[in-house]
Structure 1
Amino acid sequence: MVRIPWSNSYLPGPTHPPVSRPKRILWHLRNAEGAIAVKDVVAFFERERFDIIYAQSFARMQPAIYQAARQLKLPLCVHLRDYALMCPRTSMYRRGGNCRKPCLDCRILTIKAKCGDGEGITAISVSDAVRQTFRRHNVLAKAQWHTLHNTNTSLQHFNRDIVGRTRYVSSEFTLGYLGSLTEEKGIADLIRAFKSISGNGKARLLVAGRGRADYTSFLQDLAKGCAVEFLGYVPSDVIYARADAIVLPSRWHEPQARILVEAAVYGVPVIGTTMGGTPEILSQHRTGWCYDPHGQGNLVRLLRQALAMGPERWWQERDLNFPGIAAFKGTAEASGYYDRLEEILQSAAG
């Protein structure tokens, strides 16, 4: 690991304490100008004599990565897992809704990060939905595009004791949520839906993840009186070992949650929204149910359907209702992920 100085006031993230609006504005302006010095990146690239630059989660190192690669005439391959090149928040979600296009301040703050028109760049997206979003907004329009779903985790990193689960573990139907506790993730929608169907006492919701203290407190108040357990950060296999279904209630156009892949590897169906790249796994591979989060009662209807079956029947009929789970190629070995990635990088290197 090589560390390069990053000149800004704080590291952002969902667990970072709130800061004042002026401090946020200054942070974004500094980041937009470039918090990484091009000369530092050039020196690193020259020292290591790379044949190609493969950049992931690199938006906050822009425009230095792009400018250094161009200066040294190095091929650049960017792996896109969010919308950070168009939106400093990375989500294109603002004031309770999805942005139809990058707003003016986002366009200003990301103008240097966009890698020009993409000429000569190879771009990999984690879902076709991400690729379409970038192309629709004319970002990296001239890049050579590829899509690789998030099947890059080796089998050895999964808990083999529960890979390919086929049985329930409790007479109580258990729903699981894994992810950040933020508005755009839709966790409040899930809690409200769960409250409306959990009156018979035969269901439980496990919530694993962290968020800012004020929003977490709001969610805990919302869940009072219901069988909702807030577990904080726990290893994901703790949830996969107990849950009969995972719920992914995203409001935003989530590029592609790893949960979609992990859950299928563990044998657990997912109930997720039609937003972003989610249907590319759930609908196309038939590993779960999709619902439109804008339709009133859609999530409630699916939760009621699942709970009406009960854990025993749910698992007995899993392969009938979700026929793609048993044969799902969700590990790096089964999907040939790294062979495909190597082909893309070799082609990009020329």
Structure 2
Amino acid sequence: MKILFLSSLYSPHVGGGAEIVLQRTVEGMHQRGHEVCVLSTGPDAGLKHEFVKGVKVYRAGLLNTYWHFSEQRPGALARLGWHLRDKYNMGMRTYLREVLAAEKVDLVVCHNLSGWSVSAWDEISASGLPLVQVLHDMYLMCPSSNMFKKNTACKTPCTLCKHFRQGHAERSAQVDAVVGVSQHLLGKLTDARFFRNASQQVIYNASPKIDHAPSRFTRMAQGEPLRFGYLGTLSEPKGLRWLIDQFKKLPFNATLQIAGRGQLDYEQVLKLEASGENIHFVGYQSPESFYRQIDVAIVPSIWNEPFGLVAVEACAHSVPVIASARGGLPEIIQDGINGLLCNPDEPRSLGLAMLQLYRDPELRERLAAQARDSVEHLLDQERMLDSYQQLFLDVLQRRNVHHEISPVTQSL
């Protein structure tokens, strides 16, 4: 089976968990003996290719006003123009057509479409190839991909989103199979009448299994601070202002480490708000290093988080999690089992959860002891790869149901 994976970004350009999981999937399928290649956008003009860990990766110069993977956030008018072109970027079809002609793949798997637009679906459909769409965010209903506006998670698309996404649901009828990385995400799209002709499946993102992660609970000495930590993108929907505000009100000794990167101007805003407090911005940190330094992880998203890979990784390191009850997070964090859930609509709920874990060390100990086992099923990359491989096979076989089985399918 020869597969083309199409996405907005690919390593070393990593915007978040979607790119991490995509690379794990691509390399996993490659290691299983399948022919794989990747097509992503890039900052340089034209179509170029290179090899990343043995995988052929094409990078297509984005035909828009700017490349969207940058540290500096463009102005509102520039972003509006970018999204207007991204509603249907006809020019990007040329790159895709060139790669399809050169690689002669059996199947195309689309991940994040930002930069490519849904014009990619039309090009794949015109080529006669089967198409799988993996959903990582709300891009198909919202140009910003997050259904988040004015510090609030949107319940329905606004007028502008409806304009920019007009016709997308109808075009999604070309997709053969759709995968959601959470039940919440898949349900949001299918409830909006997307993918009416596609088979539907939830395949949770998997993290690599950690060989040895014993419970890290330790009793605090008198006066010793409780160490909270946040790991992830520094952006408004992630709830960092909420976290900082609630942390500053805690009536006990504690520290807060904030690891990750974001737009430079937003990082400065956060640092000013945290100034003078026991809050430390520590930049990029690997999960293995970061979770050794904290007692409780916090995932305070105020948008509908599609999945929550950081919550899985924290539990995998036997660190309990305080998470907002939004999006796919409640599919990972179970209140009283591996963490506590809080509600962004009740701002004090986050501070109260932090206070509860300070006052009740037995609860904290139990959550830490149970955290690893609670996500064991999400630490099996082979299981995730099995699910994707079987799905790809099913899609190919359905296409050939009225025809003689091809040699490619027989070899599998």
* TM-score, length-scaled by structure 2: 0.75
1:12 aligned partner: 68
CA shift in 2, pair 1:142/1:324, >3 Å: farther
Are 2:139 and 1:84 equivalent residues in the alignment? yes
Q: 1:315 to 1:59 in 2, by over 3 A?
A: same
Q: Which runs of 5+ in 2 are unaligned?
A: 1-56, 398-412
CA contact (8 A) 1:101 1:137 kept: no
Alignment of 1:197-346 (within 5 A): 197=250, 199-201=251-253, 203-283=254-334, 286-310=337-361, 313=362, 316-318=365-367, 323=370, 325-326=372-373, 328-330=375-377, 332-333=379-380, 336-346=383-393
Q: Is the 8 A contact 2:121 2:174 kept in 1?
A: no
Partner amino acid for 1:342? Q
- The verdict on how the C-alpha distance between 1:318 and 1:275 changes in structure 2, with shifts beyond 3 A counting, is closer
Mapped to 2, the partners of 1:42 and 1:128 lie a distance apart of: 33
Aligned residues: 338
Q: CA deviation at 1:217?
A: 2.2
C-alpha distance in 1, partners of 2:336/2:182? 14
Q: Matches of 2:386 and 2:374 in 1, distance apart?
A: 20
Matched, 1:167 2:220: no
Amino acid aligned to 1:133:
K
Q: Which moved more, 1:224-233 or 1:56-65?
A: 56-65
CA distance in 2, matches of 1:119, 1:257: 29
Deviation at 1:327, TM superposition (A): 5.2
Report if aligned partners of 2:177, 2:200 keep a CA contact under 8 Å in 1: yes
Question: CA 1:80–1:326 in 2, change beyond 3 Å: closer, same or farther?
Answer: same
- 1:100 and 1:25 map into 2 onto residues whose CA distance is 22
SS state at 2:249 partner: helix
Tell me if the contact between 1:53 and 1:77 (Cα under 8 Å) persists in the aligned partners: yes
Residues 1:126 and 2:164 are matched in the alignment: no
Matched position secondary structure for 1:290: strand
Name the SS for the 1:12 alignment partner: coil
User: How far apart are the structure 1 equivalents of 2:358 and 2:335?
Assistant: 24
- 1:222 Cα deviation after fit: 1.9
Distance in 2 (CA, whole Å) between partners of 1:33 and 1:111 is 10
Q: Deviations over 1:8-37 (max 9, x none)?
A: 121225x53233333222211222230643
**CA-CA distance at 1:128 after TM superposition:** 0.4
Query: Structure 1, unaligned stretches of length 5 or more?
Result: none
**What whole-Å deviation, never above 9, does each CA across 1:180-209 have from its counterpart, x for those lacking one?**
222211111111111111x432x1111012
Cross-structure match for 2:249: 196
1:94-149: CA deviations, max 9, x gaps? 11212222222222223365561435521000100001111222222332111011
Give the Å deviation of 1:344: 1.1
Q: Is the 8 A contact 2:175 2:197 kept in 1?
A: yes
Rate the CA distance shift 1:9–1:208 in 2: closer, same or farther, 3 A. same
Could you tell me how far apart the structure 1 residues matched to 2:100 and 2:302 are? 39
Identify the range of structure 1 (128-137 vs 212-221) with the bigger mean alpha-carbon deviation: 212-221
Amino acid across the alignment from 1:55: C
The corresponding residue for 1:187 is 240
Cα distance in 1 between the residues matched to 2:157 and 2:374? 39
Partner of 2:22: none
Counterpart position of 2:19: none
TM superposition score normalised by structure 1:
0.88
Take 2:163 and 2:382, find their aligned partners in 1: how far apart are those partners? 39
Distance 1:68 1:33 in 2: 12
What residue is the counterpart of 2:407 in the other structure? none
Percentage identity across aligned positions?
23
Are residues 259 and 54 of structure 1, via their aligned partners in 2, closer, same or farther at CA, if it must alter by over 3 Å? same
For the residue of structure 1 that corresponds to 2:105, the secondary structure is: coil
Deviations 1:271-312 (A, max 9, x none): 1011000000112893221122112411111110111135xx
User: Which deviates further from its counterpart, 222-231 or 297-306?
Assistant: 222-231
Do the aligned partners of residues 218 and 38 (structure 1) sit closer, same or farther apart at CA in structure 2, a change above 3 Å counting? closer
